[in-house]
Amino acid sequence: MNKYYIVNEIDKPCERLVMQRVDGGLYYLDPRTRAANDANFIDCLETATPLEDFGFQIIESNGLVRFEKINDSVAKYSNGTIRQWQGEIRFAYKTIVEQEAEKTDGEKEYLGDGVYVTHDGYHIVLTTENGMAVTNRIYLDRDVYQSLVDYVAKKRGS
């Protein structure tokens, strides 16, 4: 499944307007663009063009996503003409998950053994840290959290 898009054929296909699909939503990756318009554009998904159609190779690693244009564009406007990329051919952004985690990292609470907890407005976020950086990040939505609580209750009862 594709994760990175230009939302419609009106937007200029460039790095500032790349969107990431996360948890049923489409969000701008560029922090400046996102700050100006942090809406969920999931309703635009059917008209969105995957970045791969513009010829990009996408590599996601350690909370960073890198884009490199390696092929010609096969993206098309609704009239059938080829839609050319109009931005940088190499660029990178932190993923939406990483950007959101950074917003909450200052509010984290230490649990012990290098484990911290915070809340991002939707998930309970558990992190492990080695004293210099976050080494792991786990997002617990309501259902997963409830499963964990049920597991603990079951183990305490046995």
Q: Where are the domains of the chain?
A: 4-100, 108-157
User: In this structure, which amino acid lies at residue 20?
Assistant: Q
Closest CA to 28 of 99, 103, 119: 99
Instruction: Give me the chain's average pLDDT, please.
Output: 86
For the cut 90, the answer to whether the pLDDT of residue 47 exceeds it is no
Q: What is the DSSP string of 10-39?
A: SS--SGGGEEEEETTEEEESSHHHHHH---
The stretch 103-131 carries a mean pLDDT of 80
pTM, entire model: 0.65
Q: Which residue has the tokens 């950007």?
A: 99
Q: Percentage helix, strand, coil, to 5, in the chain?
A: 30, 35, 35
Residue with the bigger pLDDT between 34 and 18: it is 18
The stretch 69-91 carries a mean pLDDT of 95
The stretch 94-115 carries a mean pLDDT of 79
pLDDT (0 to 100) of residue 85: 96
The whole-angstrom separation of Cα 158 and Cα 152 is 10
